[in-house]
């Protein structure tokens, strides 16, 4: 497909839809700007005062004109709203079959980790034609992970995790930007996204890094043991901490009666500031890990917890 002139290349499954919506809104706006400006000039000339004693005609309104200039803009605005909402929802809901990758932003670089544990900095290699879901966190200030060719971006905010997904359609090299001013070297916090054919991506993973890469959930399992999480989260019925198997995405009833979903940010908070949400039936005894583990280690712990399904839990 041909790219629109002046636009970045369209290299993801959503890019064309974003462009069409953008062109529609721009065209409608341009049409009315030209219409209004032209009428101002035409009417100023056509209805100008020709004699000093000329008096304007008394007009008492027109129901037809009122209805037209109310309903035409209403319909146009609602088209923009529903079309925009549809594209927005599809951009913000990652498909379940997506390949999981982890991104950490810090002043002033992007650290990327692949599902097999391979790491890279200011570069992100991805296979074409696969749904890819990024989980992003920041070690310091607000950054913004932006890939114009894919028409996606998300703020990367300290103290929470955000997600972004895309499906890259065309092999090639594309710009990666930090799109939120984050300090002196903000403009250097750039990189490239390299889209490869799936078999090339596999070859790149196999031949790339120095030494064997440890997958995030495996690194998380080690951290789980090293930080002695396992002493309380044993998975046994009378354990001090809740059983974590199958917890991801489930509903959690809290001691104060609230019910919350155990998503990425719930797991993050429960590790960093455990007393913020204590699960019903448990004592508020877990120490906070805020400041003790890095954003990357946090993501590895979450990857480990996500990988625990009830059948893999320690024997009950």
**Dihedral, 221, 226, 228, 233 alpha carbons, nearest 10:** 0
* Structural contact between residues 135 and 100, judged by C-beta atoms closer than 8 angstroms: yes
User: Does 112 interact with ligand CUA (rule: CB under 6 A)?
Assistant: no
CA distances from 205 to 91, 126, 198, 200, 212 (A): 27, 10, 11, 9, 11
Between 137 and 242, CB nearer to ligand CUA: 137
Query: How far apart are CB 129 and ligand CUA at their closest, in Å?
Result: 29
Say whether residue 306 binds ligand CUA (CB under 6 A): no
Nearer of residues 114 and 186 to ligand CUA, judged by Cβ: 186
CB of 185 to ligand CUA, least distance (A): 8
Distance CA 38, CA 122 (A): 49
Distance between CA atoms of 300 and 130, rounded to whole angstroms?
22
Q: Using the rule CB under 6 A, give the single segment among 9-17, 19-27, 179-187, 217-225 that binds ligand CUA.
A: 179-187
Least separation in angstroms between residue 144's CB and ligand CUA is 7
Sign of CA dihedral 271, 277, 280, 283: positive
Residue 139: CB atoms within 10 Å:
16
Q: Does 104 bind ligand CUA (CB under 6 A)?
A: no
Q: Which is nearer to ligand CUA, 101 or 156 (CB)?
A: 156
Sole binder of ligand CUA in the list 114, 125, 151, 186 (CB under 6 A): 186
195 touches ligand CUA (CB under 6 A): no
**Choices 11-19, 115-123, 180-188, 293-301; region in contact with ligand CUA by CB under 6 A:** 180-188
Of the residues 101, 189, 193, 213, which one makes contact with ligand CUA according to CB under 6 A: 189
Per-residue binder mask for ligand CUA (CB under 6 A), 140-159, x = binder? ---x----------------
Neighbour tally for 233: CB within 10 Å: 21
Q: Which residue has the tokens 């790491």?
A: 119
Shortest Å, Cβ 96 to ligand CUA: 30
Q: Name which position in 103, 182, 195, 196 contacts ligand CUA (CB under 6 A).
A: 182
Q: Is 295 in the site for ligand CUA (CB under 6 A)?
A: no
Q: How many residues bind ligand CUA (CB under 6 A)?
A: 9
Residue 178 near ligand CUA by CB under 6 A: yes
278 binds ligand CUA (CB under 6 A): no
The answer to the question of residue 180 lying near ligand CUA (CB under 6 A) is yes
At its nearest, how many Å lie between ligand CUA and the CB of residue 182?
A: 3
Rounded Cα distance between 142 and 180, Å, is 7
Binding residues for ligand CUA (CB under 6 A): 105, 108, 143, 178, 180-182, 186, 189
């Amino acid at each position: 497909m041909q790219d629109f002139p002046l636009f970045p290349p369209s290299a993801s499954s959503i890019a064309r839809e974003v462009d069409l919506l953008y062109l529609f809104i721009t065209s409608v706006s341009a049409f009315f700007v030209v219409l209004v400006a032209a009428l101002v000039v035409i009417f100023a000339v056509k209805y100008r005062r020709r004699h000093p004693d000329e008096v304007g005609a008394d007009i008492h309104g027109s129901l037809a004109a009122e209805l037209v200039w109310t309903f035409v803009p209403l319909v146009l605005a609602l088209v923009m709203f529903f079309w925009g909402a549809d594209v927005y929802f599809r951009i913000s809901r990652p498909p379940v079959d997506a390949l999981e990758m982890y991104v950490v932003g810090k002043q002033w670089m992007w650290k990327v980790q692949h599902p097999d544990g391979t790491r890279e900095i200011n570069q992100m290699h991805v296979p074409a034609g696969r749904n890819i879901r990024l989980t992003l966190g920041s070690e310091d200030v607000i950054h913004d992970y932006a890939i114009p060719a894919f028409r996606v971006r998300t703020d990367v905010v300290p103290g929470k995790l955000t997600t972004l997904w895309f499906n890259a359609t065309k092999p090639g090299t594309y710009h990666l930007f930090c799109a939120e001013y984050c300090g002196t070297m903000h403009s250097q916090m750039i990189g490239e996204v390299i889209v490869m054919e799936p078999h090339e991506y596999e070859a790149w993973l196999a031949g790339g890094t120095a030494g064997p890469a440890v997958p995030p959930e495996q690194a998380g399992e080690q951290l789980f043991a090293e930080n002695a999480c396992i002493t309380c989260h044993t998975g046994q019925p009378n354990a001090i901490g809740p059983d974590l198997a199958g917890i991801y995405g489930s509903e959690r009833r809290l001691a104060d009666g609230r019910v919350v979903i155990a998503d990425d940010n719930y797991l993050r908070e429960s590790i960093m500031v455990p007393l913020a949400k204590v699960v019903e039936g448990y004592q508020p005894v877990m120490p906070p890990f805020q400041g003790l583990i890095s954003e990357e280690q946090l993501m590895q712990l979450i990857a480990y917890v996500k990988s625990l399904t009830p059948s893999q839990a320690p024997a009950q």
